[in-house]
Structure 1
Amino acid sequence: MREIGIPHPRLSLPPGGGEDDMGEFLAWLGEAIPLVEHLGIREMTRDGDRLAWQLALAPSLNDKGTGFGGAIAAQTTLLGWCWTTLWLRRHGYARDVVVAQATQRFLAPVTGDYRLECLPEHDDGVAGLTERLASRGKGRIALVQRLWCGETLCLEARGDYAVLPAG
């Protein structure tokens, strides 16, 4: 059980800056952030710069029988945090990541299980983060999350994620 004010131990970096095992990362995430086990995450995959979750709607139902905006907002914020953390790990950085700003725009009700995707907002986002980490030891990246229920785009979100300096 997690204790308030006590950081959870970091997951060891993958050997040689390699890929994380997504199942292992999700298991660690569930220990580090107890809310994760209640989010309905079924699967996490990555394709290039796109990180995606498949989610069950049932844990996030509202009183109308559709997706609860607060739960979905938490999911988008956490997916961006995961994107940034996994990118750092792949590049050999064990750093703290925090969300600096997040917004959501709800476009349609979420009426069934769904897919949530995250990727950099700008084509040069990764290059900019890489440069700032090298020159200043810290950085920031803007990410976009999109929630798809079947072929319907139900939500677009944006977040700025700050990578804190080592130490």
Structure 2
Amino acid sequence: MRHHGVPFPRLPLPSAQPGGAGQGESLETFQQWLGEAIPLVGHLGIKRMYWQGDSLVWDLALSPNLNDKGTGFGGSLTAQTTLIGWCWTALWLRARLREQDVVVAQASQRFLAPVTGDYRLECRPCQVDGPEQLQARLASAGKGRLALVQQLYLDDVLCLEAEGDYAVLPAISTG
């Protein structure tokens, strides 16, 4: 059981994996840890998590995210877009064997069409060189930010587009 003000234990870092956005990580292990670290995750309807190029993709069930109209509840969809961006950034750091905290600094959403069935959420960097810019900032300052875009699709229809700015905090010294 989680307690207020008590950080959840970190997931051990994966074995070193060259390159990629975090593709060397066992996403099943990460998702299990995520559900324990953030209890809400177990209620979001995440059926599958996988990488497609530099995009982190989730397949989601609509049923736990219904609103009173029988479509996707905006609050749930917003939570999912925020969380997938956090996961993208955390997995990217983990692939580089960096234990640093990630927080969302800013987020915005545009709802374009109702979500009426199970759906797919994709997250990728806003700029192709965004991860390289973050890497350089981490090397020089020990902290940085990364802008990510999240797109929610029902089949091939774009229903929601969101952007998030994720801050990587300085590493905490354990010495």
Describe how 1:1-167 pairs up with structure 2 within 5 A: 1-17=1-17, 19-167=24-172
Asked if the contact 1:55/1:115 (under 8 Å) is kept, the reply is yes
TM-score, scaled relative to structure 1:
0.98
Q: Which runs of 5+ in 1 are unaligned?
A: none
Deviation (angstroms), 1:15: 1.1
Where does structure 1 differ by over 4 angstroms across 4 or more consecutive aligned residues? Answer: none
> Deviation per CA, 1:44-66, whole angstroms, max 9, x where unpaired?
00123100000000000000000
> Deviation per CA, 1:88-118, whole angstroms, max 9, x where unpaired?
0001101100000000000000000000000
Q: Percent identity?
A: 65
For the residues of structure 2 that align with 1:114 and 1:144, how far apart are their CA atoms? Answer: 17
Matched to 2:143, the amino acid is K
Asked if the contact 1:143/1:158 (under 8 Å) is kept, the reply is yes
SS in 2 for 1:54: strand
SS in 1 for 2:50: strand
Deviation (angstroms), 1:123: 1.4
Matched to 1:5, the amino acid is G
Asked if the contact 1:17/1:89 (under 8 Å) is kept, the reply is no
SS in 2 for 1:15: coil
For the residues of structure 2 that align with 1:109 and 1:46, how far apart are their CA atoms? Answer: 25
Aligned residues: CA RMSD: 0.8
For the residues of structure 1 that align with 2:129 and 2:15, how far apart are their CA atoms? Answer: 27
Q: Which runs of 5+ in 2 are unaligned?
A: 19-23
